[in-house]
Structure formats: structure tokens, C-alpha cells
């Protein structure tokens, strides 16, 4: 009898131990696999998602706080700033180590130092790295630009970028730069060890060696796998510190994260699935990806109401959801390097090119695009300043986002464009059904204004990385893109058109307008003020009047996730959020 009584107990103990030892695995959905994980090349949100999980930055955003607020990550606290706003002194945490890796002499990750940050920022100005993030600090830090021009000799000191001691960083600015702190939370400033860059060379792009909460064990075009960094410093989740509001996040169960050691899960599998139907199938199976962004073809199936957004009971029982307007925008820019779109020293050609750009903009049908592809939620607005940021003007003339077929035809005729003189227009797109539909809609509107059907071509790319490479090399006529704000300031989208930021920098339109550049530079070192707001509005008007592109639209996102996962989908700004997610066993 005793044996019979002990067997269930033994089985229960064994079962409990097995459950306790079962690793927590977060299987999450990603849109498109990054081509490189080198921080200086982390110019897409997909790359930054991984970069900021495996590398440290000096600062990060509070996980739940809105309006968005910075907090220390690798830094011990907020910086000490001189009275003139030109010198920042930042202390970093002691005892933080890079992951164990053969790049180090004994295979054991060494301590992260202030000099590692200096080296990492210098890499953005080393020409051979073709940094996509140098625009953030170009013309801002004393001696840094010149250091790059002089050959990027890492043995030579830079007056404005120093390690005062093992744990103290000093940054000296040429002029005040109000956005500096935001840049120190971005993947471009992630801290890398010189040893790894030297050992892996070009392979460093797919062999990250960081000090962040996770380390990468594999990556390819379908999946990136991260595991918990066993040597990660001790961090505990604090609800109050991270901006928890029980009225907003309470239903998602985030209170359960209080006091948990970060990162919480043992393994993260990011599944790169581009097709919305495949992503939805993976999400609804219940044992694959745990999150989804609701797409147009699921709206009638899932939603009980659009205003307000509510789920049908069957879905509300299974999933948590969040509705948010993105802190970003989608647009389609013209490449000003192109002979038919760009500025010209010949006044006649310049006027003709502008007329062509403006006519194409007038052909575009935003209500049609929003209804068909964006759940019928959200609205288009003129210009390139995101609603909610300084300089957005809700009263701005909306003719640039209003379809005007007759006006487009008139412009083309007035400036001598006809079926013979109009150029072949090549539309770049991902090899997906949705992108093909984007193209078909775009082409259909152009045909309405008299553009010959046979002169509108489609060029497809297998991956977003391939597409982005051509954009960064100025090889596309058009730039259909989305831009998520890197920081909550309109300057972050206005810099997309600043001449010196041209490809491979953030200015993928390769727009270069001296008047715009001068105004942008004037506003860049100004603190928030009515005067700066007025300049932002002026810059936005220049872009609209010069017909730089079709824009803009901020999407309304509906995020769903399984109720056994404790998370709060926060993709407004690039930064690591994997470490805050828990998966119930």
C-alpha cells in the first residue's frame, strides 16, 4: 500500500521538476529578416529589434511610459550637462561583461568600458563601414567628422569623444544638440567590442558579440534565435519605474511582471514571415508565433466593431489586443538622383521634372489605399511631420493628399509630357501579394492621368534587405517606405530630406535643397520653442510645395497576442522589449 501511495507523489514531484526545468520560449512574429546585425548598419526596425536585444545602449525607453521617457540602460544615470549645453559626462555601470566568445583571448567576455562606447561611435564615421547612422552625429561632435575624413585612425584621439576613465564618457558638442540623448538609445550607438570586429571581419554582421540580455545563436531568412545571456547583469522589473498604468495595461496582466529578474524568457525565436496569411495561420495555430498584427483580410472575421475597436467574443476569449496609432508614417518618395525626377540647373528641365512629380502625387488615391490595405482606419495628411510631434499642423492645406486626376492631366500637358516623352517608371516592391497589389493600385491611378501602361514596370525583391540595399545605393526610381520615429521629435522625419544625409544615409530621396538645408540646420540646435515650431512648419511646407513624394499616412495598428503571454506590444520606437516578456508554462 505504501508503494501505491508513493508512486503518485513521486510522479508529481518528477512532473513538477520537469515543468520547472522546461525553458520558457517566446515565439514571436517578425516581418522581414535583416541582412546585417552590425549596429552601424541597423537602419531598419527589423535589424534594430535584434541589435538592441543582444547589445547594450547607454539609454533606453521606459517600457510602458507615454509620453515616451528615457531611462539608463548601460549608463548609471542621466548625464551631467554643462551650463552651455555642450559637454555631456556619462558614467557607465561597472561589472558588465560581453558574452563569452572566441574573439576574446581566453574565450571569456571581458568587462565593458567607456572606451568601448567611444570605439563604437567612431565606427559610424569610418568610411569603410558605410554607416547608416552617422547622420545622427554628423557635424555635432567636436572632431568626429574630421577624424573620419583623415582616415579613421582608431589610435588617434578625438577632442569631443573621450573615455575620461574606465567608466566615464565625455561628449563635447560643436553646438547644442537637443536630440543627443535620444540617439544614445538607438541601435546605431550600441556598444561593440573591438576584438569581435577584428576577428570576424565581414562576418561580424551576422556574428554579434554584445553585452545585452540575449545572445544570438543562429539567424537566416526565416528565423533568428536568441538565448538568455547567462552573464547578464542583475535587473529586476519595476512596474512604477517602467510607467505602469493599471487602467491601461491592467487587463493584459502586466502586474505579474513585478519583481521578476530580466530577461524573463530563456529563448526567443523571431519568425520572419512576410505573407500576412501565413503569419495569421501561424498565430492562430496556438503553438507557433504568439503575436499578430491584424490585417485587412482578417478584419471582418475578427472585429465586432471598428469604432471603438472590439473583438468578437471568440477572439476576445483567446487573445489580448491593443489599438494604437503608430509613431511613424508611410510614404512614397521620388529619388532626386533620377534624371526625370531630380532638380536640374536647366530651369525648363527643372520645371518639367517638378510637374511630373506633382502630377504623380495628384494621381494617388489615399482613401482607396486606406480602405483596401489599412483596415479603413487612420487618415492621410499633408507633409512629413507625424501627428503628435512638434510642428504638425492639422489645418495644413490637404490638396497634396487629395486625388486630382484633371489637375494631374493639366500639369502634364502644360509642361510637355505625353505618352512618348514620359519615362519608363519602375516601381520597386517586395515579392509578396500585398506589395504586388500596392503596385497595381499605383499603376491604375497613373493610367487614369494618361501614363502609358507599358511604361509602368514592377521590380520585385526577395527580401526587404535586398530592397533596402538598392535604396541605400540610390538604385531605385521610387522609394515606397515606412519610417518609425527613432525619437519623439519632428526633426527625426525632417532629417529624411536634409542634403548631407543622402544615401546610404537616411535621406533615401537624395533631396538636396539649399534653402531647406539652411533652415534645417538652424532648427537642429534649437530647444523646443514657438520659433522652432514655426521653422518645422516652414520646412514641411517646402517639402509639400516641391512635391518630394506621396505622403503621408500614419497607420492604426491592432496588435493581438495570446493570453498565456504577458507583454505590451510597444513598437513605436526602436529598442529591446524582449527582456520584459513572460510566457506562462
This prediction's pTM: 0.79
328-554 has the same fold as 38-43+55-207: no
Nearest-angstrom CA–CA distance, 244 and 259: 13
pLDDT of residue 11: 45
E-state strands within 350-484: 425-430, 456-461, 478-484
Among 368, 365, 304, CA closest to 558:
304
> pLDDT tens digits, the chain, 585 residues: what are they?
333 334 444 444 444 444 557 899 999 999 889 989 999 998 888 899 999 999 999 999 999 988 788 999 999 999 999 999 999 999 999 999 999 999 999 999 999 999 999 999 999 999 999 999 998 999 999 999 999 999 999 999 999 999 999 999 999 999 999 899 999 999 999 999 999 999 999 999 999 999 999 999 999 999 999 999 999 999 999 999 999 999 999 999 999 999 999 999 999 999 999 888 999 999 999 999 999 998 878 888 999 998 889 999 999 999 999 998 888 899 999 999 999 999 999 999 999 999 999 999 999 999 999 988 887 888 899 999 998 888 999 999 999 999 999 999 999 999 999 999 999 999 999 998 889 999 999 999 999 999 999 999 999 999 888 999 999 999 999 999 988 888 888 999 999 999 999 999 889 999 999 999 999 999 988 888 999 999 999 999 999 999 999 999 998 889 999 999 999 987 666 578 899 999 997
Q: What is the DSSP string of 145-171?
A: HHHHHTT--TTS-BTTEEEEETTEEEE
User: Helices marked H in 184-298 — which ranges?
Assistant: 194-200, 246-249, 276-285
Contact between 273 and 289 under an 8 Å Cβ cutoff? The reply is yes
Contact between 430 and 31 under an 8 Å Cβ cutoff? The reply is no
CB atoms within 10 A of CB 33: 22
DSSP reduced 3-state for 404: coil
Task: Please tell me the CATH code under which domain 328-554 is placed.
Answer: 3.10.105.10
pLDDT of residue 296: 79
From 3.50.50.60, 3.40.50.720, 3.90.76.10, 3.30.750.210, which CATH number describes the 38-43+55-207 domain?
A: 3.90.76.10
Burial label, 62 (beta-carbon count in 10 A; 0-12, 13-18, 19+)? middle
Contact between 306 and 314 under an 8 Å Cβ cutoff? The reply is no
| CA 483, chain centre distance (Å) | 7
Every domain of the chain and the residues it spans: 38-43+55-207, 328-554
Q: What b/e string do you get for 563-576 counting C-beta neighbours within 10 Å, with b at 16 or more?
A: eebbbbbbbbbbbb
Q: What b/e string do you get for 233-269 counting C-beta neighbours within 10 Å, with b at 16 or more?
A: beeebebeebbbeeeebeebbbeebeeeebbbbebbb
Amino acid at each position: 500500500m505504501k508503494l501505491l501511495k508513493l508512486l503518485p507523489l513521486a510522479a508529481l514531484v518528477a512532473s513538477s521538476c520537469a515543468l520547472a526545468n522546461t525553458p520558457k520560449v517566446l515565439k514571436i512574429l517578425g516581418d522581414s529578416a535583416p541582412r546585417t546585425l552590425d549596429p552601424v548598419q541597423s537602419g531598419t526596425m527589423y535589424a534594430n529589434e535584434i541589435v538592441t536585444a543582444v547589445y547594450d545602449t547607454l539609454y533606453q525607453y521606459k517600457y510602458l511610459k507615454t509620453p515616451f521617457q528615457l531611462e539608463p540602460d548601460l549608463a548609471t544615470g542621466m548625464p551631467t550637462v554643462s551650463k552651455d549645453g555642450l559637454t555631456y559626462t556619462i558614467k557607465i555601470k561597472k561589472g558588465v561583461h560581453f558574452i563569452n566568445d572566441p574573439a576574446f583571448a581566453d574565450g571569456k567576455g571581458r568587462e565593458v568600458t567607456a572606451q568601448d562606447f567611444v570605439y563604437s561611435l567612431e565606427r559610424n564615421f569610418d568610411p569603410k563601414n558605410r554607416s547608416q547612422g552617422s547622420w545622427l552625429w554628423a557635424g555635432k561632435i567636436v572632431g568626429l567628422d574630421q577624424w573620419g575624413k583623415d582616415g579613421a585612425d582608431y589610435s588617434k584621439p578625438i577632442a569631443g569623444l573621450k573615455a575620461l576613465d574606465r567608466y566615464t564618457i565625455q561628449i563635447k558638442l560643436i553646438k547644442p544638440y537637443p536630440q543627443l540623448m535620444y540617439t544614445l538609445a538607438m541601435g546605431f550607438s550600441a556598444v561593440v567590442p573591438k576584438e569581435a570586429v577584428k576577428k570576424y571581419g565581414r562576418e561580424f554582421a551576422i556574428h554579434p558579440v554584445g553585452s545585452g540580455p540575449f545572445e544570438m545563436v543562429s539567424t537566416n531568412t526565416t528565423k533568428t534565435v536568441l538565448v538568455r545571456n547567462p552573464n547578464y547583469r542583475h535587473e529586476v522589473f519595476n512596474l512604477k519605474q517602467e510607467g505602469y498604468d493599471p487602467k491601461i495595461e491592467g487587463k493584459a496582466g502586466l502586474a505579474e511582471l513585478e519583481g521578476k529578474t530580466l530577461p524573463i524568457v530563456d529563448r526567443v525565436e523571431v519568425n520572419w514571415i512576410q505573407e500576412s496569411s501565413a503569419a495569421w495561420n501561424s498565430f492562430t495555430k496556438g503553438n507557433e508565433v504568439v503575436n499578430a498584427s491584424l490585417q485587412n483580410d482578417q478584419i471582418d472575421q475578427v472585429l465586432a466593431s471598428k469604432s471603438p475597436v472590439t473583438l468578437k467574443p471568440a477572439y476576445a476569449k483567446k487573445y489580448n489586443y491593443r489599438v494604437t496609432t503608430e509613431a511613424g508614417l508611410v510614404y512614397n518618395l521620388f529619388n532626386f538622383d533620377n534624371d526625370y525626377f531630380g532638380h536640374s540647373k536647366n530651369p525648363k528641365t527643372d520645371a518639367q521634372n517638378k510637374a511630373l512629380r506633382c502630377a504623380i502625387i495628384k494621381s494617388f488615391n489615399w482613401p482607396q489605399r486606406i480602405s483596401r490595405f489599412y483596415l479603413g482606419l487612420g487618415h492621410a495628411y499633408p507633409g512629413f511631420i507625424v501627428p503628435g510631434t512638434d510642428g504638425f499642423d492639422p489645418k495644413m492645406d490637404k490638396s497634396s493628399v487629395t486625388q486630382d486626376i484633371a489637375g494631374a492631366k493639366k500639369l502634364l500637358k502644360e509642361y510637355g509630357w505625353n505618352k512618348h516623352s514620359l519615362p519608363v517608371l519602375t516601381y520597386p516592391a517586395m515579392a509578396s501579394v500585398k506589395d504586388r497589389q500596392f503596385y497595381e493600385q499605383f499603376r491604375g491611378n497613373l493610367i487614369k492621368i494618361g501614363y502609358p501602361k507599358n511604361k509602368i514596370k514592377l521590380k520585385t525583391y526577395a527580401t526587404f534587405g535586398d530592397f533596402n540595399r538598392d535604396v541605400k545605393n540610390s538604385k531605385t526610381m521610387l522609394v515606397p517606405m515606412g519610417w518609425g520615429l527613432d525619437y519623439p521629435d519632428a526633426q527625426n522625419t525632417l532629417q529624411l530630406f536634409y542634403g548631407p544625409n543622402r544615401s546610404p544615409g537616411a535621406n533615401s530621396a537624395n533631396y538636396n535643397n539649399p534653402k531647406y538645408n539652411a533652415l534645417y540646420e538652424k532648427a537642429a540646435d534649437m530647444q523646443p520653442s514657438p520659433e522652432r515650431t514655426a521653422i518645422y512648419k516652414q520646412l514641411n511646407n517646402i517639402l509639400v510645395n516641391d512635391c518630394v513624394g506621396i505622403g503621408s499616412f500614419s497607420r492604426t495598428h491592432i496588435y493581438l497576442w495570446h493570453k498565456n503571454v504577458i507583454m505590451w506590444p510597444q513598437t513605436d520606437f526602436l529598442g529591446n522589449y524582449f527582456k520584459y516578456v513572460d510566457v506562462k508554462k
